[in-house]
A and B are shown apart, each in its own frame.
Chain A
């Protein structure tokens, strides 16, 4: 926080809602200009963390700082200097596209014209609909309008809570291309997503699960946390392949993975040579196998299963 280059700093943040521990000691730092992703499923704590950082919720424990300011004490100043796009549509349905944009500009004491340069790229596809009520827009267009409204006061930090949830694959790609261009303009971006494939678009990511950080690193670096041999096995009978591989005595985990099945071996020195003979005995002699490097999703599941394994004694089922 003393360092001017740190835009977000969270230290030991905890928050409960009744009996539910939404956050159980989250610590992370985000540098100026970073595109930082919080990756995790529904219930991982992403929204709670974001609301605390945006000064909308008080933490029970820990300290949160944004732009060198304290999230509890300096909330007024922080609110002026950040942009927040909540997960649920946050605009005024009864106002038009243009009215929404002007409203947000006015609230922040600026005008649309003053910062139009920043949002032009995003807003241009909304121009033909500027008089349409926001409630009448499609999901993809609402998302673009919400992003425009969050940017209209040229915030130093942009916080986006699951902007691509429920959005189709094409719109998701377009949205990430927009974020890439915003980052080039020097805006620090904190974004959450349940989609593992989006993680590779970030400079750094944090894996969140049940209110804890499972790991923080660059998308490339984080896969180093996957410490066992991983193989891709292919056969047309995917479900049978999964079932049979799970019976292999050295299997740690077996997961369907797009067109193949990812198999993790518990022996550090395993080279996969004893798997084809095993599969042949199951009538899957035609299966192909190759050693592969773990991806981001492999790593996330590996860390989840490791933690589930450690906690198996005091919980029925690890994850929801």
Chain B
């Protein structure tokens, strides 16, 4: 397949980027990224290791200043208002989200405090969260003693504590069993149903099919963007996995 499958214009965009780029020396980590994510949409951000996903995510979460291009997230400009972006988004990463030496209750209190929730609200939210997640019996156990799947759902909920408009999930389901993975996706669906925009990366290509739309990055550029059905029918691929491998193999970067 040649060229890009174009993205559609989105009326009510939670994320909007135009030619967004980031160079490190001569290396174009992200090269003219243009995409729009609608409010309440589940957007899958795919790409091989080294394709530029992490750099793009850092720019969209206000952690890294772009070299050129423009982007707004939750209505705030990535150059001028990165601190406002941070307050209006949630972020969950596989690598770092919660403190292993703290209990679930302590993690909730800590992160709620960071996000400036009042004591009363935090107490109420904490009790509600522990109950809905089924973590009451382990609320005061060290996090390090809990199964990975439990940590993941807690981590996701903590990222939503301050009721952000957009939540960024960086490989949220790595390493868990297929049932736990699907339960996690049901939390994602429920969150999107409440109008929260979900921006998610994954290495599980079947999860790409659960997104409203996906983009596939290759060598810093968007090689394809659209709904899973559109992408499959445009490219004649049987699955997003096949399309991904086709596009990613055409890439020249070795991570």
Contacts and interface: CB of A to CB of B under 8 A. Distances in A.
Interface residues of A, number: 40
Contact of B174 (A165, A239, A257): A165
Interface stretch (B15-23, B161-169, B205-213): B205-213
B48 A168 contact: yes
Contacts of B248: 168-170
Contacts of B254: 138, 140-141
B149 interface: yes
B128 interface: no
Contacts of B185: 256
B210 A238 contact: yes
Contacts of B177: 40-41, 44, 194, 209, 300, 304, 319
B25 interface: no
Contacts of A141: 254-255
B176 A320 contact: yes
B179 interface: yes
Nearest to B136: A316
By DSSP majority rule, is chain B's interface helix, strand, loop, or mixed?
Answer: helix
A272 B50 CA distance: 45
A39 B249 CA distance: 27
A139 interface: yes
Interface string B198-240: 0000011110011000000000000000001100100000011
Given A168-B203, A169-B248, A316-B134, A259 B179 contact: no
Contact of A167 (B146, B203, B241): B203
B1 interface: no
Size bracket, chain B contacts: 35 or more
A173 B242 CA distance: 11
Nearest to B238: A259
Given A169-B48, A305-B179, A320 B255 contact: no
Interface in B173-191: 174-180, 182, 185-186, 189
A297 B150 contact: no
A141 B254 CA distance: 9
Contacts of A320: 146-150, 176, 180
Interface of A: 40-44, 138-141, 165-171, 173, 194-197, 209, 236, 238-239, 242, 255-259, 297, 300-301, 304-305, 316-317, 319-320
Interface of B: 47-50, 134, 137, 146-150, 171, 174-180, 182, 185-186, 189, 193, 203-206, 209-210, 228-229, 232, 239-241, 244-245, 248-249, 254-255
